[in-house]
Amino acid sequence: MSIFKAYDIRGRVPEELNEEVAYLIGRAAGDYFGARRFMVGTDDRASRDSLFEAFARGLRTQGVQVLSIGKVSTPILYYTAAEQDFDAGVMITASHNPGEYNGFKFCRRDAAPVPQEQLQEIRRLVEAGSFRSVSPAGAPEEMDPFPAYRDFLKRRVTFSTPYRVVVDAGNAVCGLFVGDNLALTPLQVDPLFFESDPSFPNHEPNPLLEENTVELRRRVRETGADLGIALDGDGDRMMLVDEEGAFLQGDLTTLLIALGLLETGHRGFDVVIDCRASRVVEEILRGKGLSVTKSRVGHTFIKTLMRKQKSLCGGELSGHYYFQESHYTESTDLALFTILAMMEARKATLAEIWRPLARYPQSGEINSRVLSVDATLARVKAAFHDARFSEIDGLTVEYDGWWFNLRPSNTEPLLRLNLEASDTGQMEEMRDKVLAVVRADGGEPA
């Protein structure tokens, strides 16, 4: 079943994902996790109710008690499931995908991630259609997660400056509650696209793409705001815009978070970053006496490494930021609060803090469709044979003045290039040289 992806289940409704499939996924999840209690949250897509009802019915058929926490963000689901000691949890969401999609993001006890091999076990159960025969559970129960979650947030607000922030909720689920959450802080919030609309009329809820932040950047500049915040469809990713409208990449935001935690008294901790992160992240953090662990791209890998290393924080280029105090899961709230507290302590603007750290020009992620991923990676390795190599995720090739990561897609014959160099001229030259090798045997831009 193609809806089972590397990190979650996701597909077009109803062609790929419908009530019948959701019911079978519920039964399979009930059997696989062996859970007695299962927490379920949803985003605000048009298909949420029908998929929730079918999925919950599948769980209950397998004797699992279902607790619904309603329309929430994925971080709130993770936090609440861990704090309430649930056996497992699921967020019904398609994250940043268009409105006709939906899906399921699972977590285990203590909000531990569910890796790809475990998702494939659930897939096999769905395809086999053979489940345990047990006494069904009763009707779903309901719980409001916001009082406890907001108590958690209030304890994490350590700044007092009434910064003006523009928040773009992208017409997704966070618009229903992010204003109330941030009302706990001194912030002056300028809401942008808070009205829930599953068709996402203003832009797709994917903040990683700069074209989806055009209006946010314009609003920040026009209003003189201190920063802008772009959230994705289920609130587990955040990208920042500084007071001049410049877009921060997720790796530099991760660096700011780690520096902010260091400046509040934490010492000697570990930070997990993905293998695409700028070289400057590791240079600065190691120079401050911190350890840095590189990970494969993807929340299951980051979270697993953080738990193993007992890392204080972590982050990805894609805008996911993870914290030990939120059970090693994403928290856009803690990420924002940490950076605002650092701005206040330094008496500096966001641009003044991050721009001196952006030492190396980057290519951005460039996709190439290739005939053979393995053959292309071998050809690239041969072409740059005198480099230092790492294969944490795809192929990382390092020279003193420049480096790149070439990573395969999980679902298509694509290779994703991220390249960085000491200056813009070298970056452009090496980018074109690497792409020529990647596309030498019938490859093309994707």
The domain ranges of the chain are 9-145, 148-241, 250-334, 366-445
Q: Where are the beta strands (DSSP E) in 224-339?
A: 227-231, 238-241, 270-274, 291-295, 313-315, 321-323, 329-330
Assigned CATH class of 366-445: alpha beta
Q: Is 32 exposed, middle or buried (0-12, 13-18, 19+ CB in 10 A)?
A: buried
* pLDDT attached to residue 49: 97
In 310-392, alpha helices (H): 332-346, 350-354, 373-383
- pTM to 2 decimal places: 0.96
pLDDT cut 70: percent of the chain above it: 100
Which of these CATH numbers, 3.40.120.10, 3.20.20.60, 1.10.3720.10, 3.40.50.150, describes 250-334?
Answer: 3.40.120.10
- Residue 237's region, left for phi above 0, alpha for psi from -120 to 50, else beta, is beta
* pLDDT attached to residue 1: 80
Question: Do 366-445 and 250-334 fall under one CATH topology?
Answer: no
Q: Tell me how far the alpha carbon of residue 214 is from its chain's centroid.
A: 21
Q: Which residues pair with 366 in a beta bridge?
A: 417
Q: What is the CATH number of domain 148-241?
A: 3.40.120.10
* pLDDT attached to residue 187: 98
Q: What is the pLDDT of residues 106-138, one digit of tens each?
A: 999 999 999 999 999 999 999 999 999 999 999
Amino acid letter for position 40: V
Amino acid letter for position 171: N
Of 320, 273, 321, 313, the C-alpha closest to 293 is: 273
Provide block-wise average pLDDT over 10 residues at a time, the chain (446 residues).
Answer: 91 97 98 97 97 98 98 98 98 94 97 96 96 96 98 97 98 98 98 97 94 97 98 97 97 98 96 97 98 96 97 97 98 98 98 97 96 96 97 97 94 92 98 98 91
DSSP character at residue 405: E
d(CA 176, CA 113): 26
What residues are labeled active site? 95
* pLDDT attached to residue 227: 98
Q: What is the CATH number of domain 9-145?
A: 3.40.120.10
For residues 219-256, b (16+ Cβ closer than 10 Å) or e, as one string? bbeeeebbbbbbbbbbbbbbbbbbbebbbbbbbbbbbb
- Kindly report the number of other CB atoms within 10 A of residue 315's CB atom: 28
